[in-house]
Each structure stands twice: as C-alpha cells, then as structure tokens.
Amino acid sequence: MPTDLRTRKLAELAIKCVEMKKGDKVVLSGRSEAIPFLVELYKAVILNGGHPIVKVGLPGTSDFFYKHANKEQIESFPDYWLDTLKRAQCYIGISTSGNTRELSSCNPKKMTARGKIVHPISDYVCNTRDKIKRVTIGYPCSALAQDAEMSDTEYENFLYGACLQDWTKIKKLAKKVSSKFKSGSSVRLVGENVDLKFKVHGDKIASDLEHVENMPSGEIFMAPVRESLNGYIKFEYASVRDGKEITDIYLKFKDGKVIESSATKNEEFLKEMLTTDENASYVGEFGIGMNPKIDKYTNNLLFDEKIGGTIHLALGSAYKENGGGNDSAIHWDLVKNMSKAKIIIDGKILQENGKFKV
C-alpha cells in the first residue's frame, strides 16, 4: 500500500505515545509489510533527536521455524534481543501481517514451548514502564483488510480514522466509567450467553487513553481478583491466535479457574492454550471497549478489544501495574459483544445493551 500524509502523522503519534526524549534509543519492530511505516518512524526518531534501532521480520520465517526447528532451537533464548531492549528507552511495535493464517498448520505444542522460552522478553516490555516506554500500533496491509472484509482503501480509512481522531470525549467517558470502580468492587456480567461474577482491583484501573500502549486506544482495564471468578461466558466473536481461528469459545469458571471449555472450531487448540502453564486457565485482565470509530469486528484484537459495547477477558498473565498477580506465558484477550447483556458494579448497572449509564 502506498504511503500518504496520514502515515507521517501516525509516525508522529507513535513518538508521542512512547514519550520519546532527545538521546533516547528507540527500537522499531515490524514485518516487511510495514517497511513504508518503518521508514517514516525512522525519520521521526531522527528528527526528534533519538537513535533508531530497526528490526524487520521476514515473510515465511516463522512458519519455517516452527516446522523445522529442533528442540535445542525451540528452547534457545534470544538473549541478544532482550539485551537490545534493555539498552533502549522506547519500543514501537507495528501490527501488520502478510498472512494471518501463516501458522495455522504449525504444531501448537512447539509454539507453546517457544512462548514459555521468550516470555521474559514480553514480560520486560510490558511490565517495566519505568525502564522502557512501549506502544503497539496498527498499520494497514492487504491481509488485515481481507480479514476485516474491507477493500485496501476502506481499511486504510478505517485504521487511520481509529487512530487519528480527537480523543477528548473518549477520555472524559473513560474517566467517568473508571470512577465507578474501587478496590474490591463486585462485578457481574449477565445477559445473553453470560452470567459471570468476580471482584476487581478497581483502585488500580488503567486507561490506555492516559498511558497509550496500544494504538488505536480506547479501553479501560483492570485485574480481576484471581480466585474470584464464578460462572460462565461465551464469546460470540471468533479469536485468531497463532494463525488459528477459534470460534464460539465457552468458558466456565469456579474459584477463578476455567473448569470447562469448548469451541466449535479448533477446540483442541483452546484446551492446549489453557494448559500452557498452571496460571493460563486464570484471568489476568478485564477490559471494557469504548472507541467510537471502531464499530465492527475485524479479526484483529488490536482493534476489536476497543469496540464500543464490548468487554474482554484475558486468559493468563496480568499487568503488574493493575494489581494482578497472575503470571503466565500467555496473555490471550477474548472479546464479547455486550449488546444483549449488562455490566453491573456493586449492584448498580454501569452498562446495559452496550450503552453506558454514566
């Protein structure tokens, strides 16, 4: 896809998101499909007095690795990459794809094993904001447009519209909604295909509109109290992970842990992920989407978890800044449409049929 002025604006926005200062080392990481954007980011870092470090993922290498790597290669830790990140002050990761189903025929056990090995890298980037500022930012490409059932031009307009907007109203709404939570707040999700109760660390609620670590932003999120989840939930939206599409995910919880699970497609993969480690079957995050420019499901979690009128639960690892103590090699967000359900906090309706009551 050709670059345009919006790409430059997106690059400038990314620099602001990571609060780059003069002299900072900035890691720029993306696939070859994002090269036009990487170039604009490189220029923006230079013009703002920083030092860019560029990492480009090559097409076909991930698929080849999981199909041909031996046990020693799977278990080899890329210490050079962690060392690079520890020397940097900022990290900008670009979300694109040449083929969103590239890994669909790869062995999930190999991918799970590899995920455990490289977990310290994602843990460092996600949980040491005092050392490295990060943002994951979307960039338009044909593969993502296809998944979203849009033309390339439609997807470009959708993505730039979701990112390059006036955030004033959303910030006000996020502040109002956040104020309804407090430490130990009781939450109930009830309605079509859901009846789930849990408590949250509401005093440590976060808004990605204040410290932007995903772009587009537009969610508030917090950690549930680990053993407090009881009930069931079905996710109408499909989830794509490691190239596999998992549909109609159903989870039943008792004392925080998933005790029953099913899916109409790739159920075996779902169950494999739940056994990644002892904490993968617990929930690390509860989030609420509120970006008005994202009004349809696109098969891209970076966007879908921000859809207004949705909630998401993340299986596995919790962000430490939100008071969560669940540590896992996975962090898997699952999105639910709340257009026929309610969010109730401490007995009062916060949202009904996708509309806030604040």
Q: What is the pLDDT of residues 281-296, one digit of tens each?
A: 999 999 999 999 998 9
**Strand-pair category, 214-215 with 133-138:** parallel
Exposure of 18 in the CB half-sphere (CA atoms within 13 A): 34
Asked if 199 and 225 touch (Cβ cutoff 8 Å), the reply is: yes
**What pLDDT sits at residue 4?**
80
**What pLDDT sits at residue 41?**
98
**What pLDDT sits at residue 3?**
56
341 bridge partner residues: 191
Helix (H) or strand (E) holding 348: strand 348-352
Provide, rounded to the nearest whole percent, the portion of the chain with pLDDT above 90. 84
Name the CATH topology of 5-163.
Answer: Thermophilic metalloprotease-like (3.40.1830)
pLDDT in tens, 103-120: 889 998 899 999 999 999
C-alpha 358/C-alpha 288 separation (Å) is 14
**CA-closest candidate to residue 19, choices 90, 122, 86, 88:** 90
C-alpha 93/C-alpha 14 separation (Å) is 10
pLDDT band of residue 184 (cuts 50, 70, 90) is confident
pLDDT band of residue 1 (cuts 50, 70, 90) is very low
pLDDT in tens, 92-102: 999 999 899 99
Asked if 44 and 15 touch (Cβ cutoff 8 Å), the reply is: yes
What are the structure tokens assigned to 229, written together? 């989840």
Preceding amide of 108 cis, omega within 30 = no
Q: What is the pTM of this model?
A: 0.89
Whether the pLDDT of residue 322 is over 80: the answer is: no
In the three-class reduction of DSSP (H, G, I as helix; E, B as strand; rest coil), residue 143 is classed as helix
Q: What residues does CATH 3.40.1830.10 cover in the chain?
A: 5-163
C-alpha 68/C-alpha 55 separation (Å) is 23
Angle, CA 354 vertex, CA 349 and CA 358 arms, to 5°: 45
Phi, psi of 322 (to 5 degrees): -95, 10
Q: What does the pLDDT average to over 140-147?
A: 96
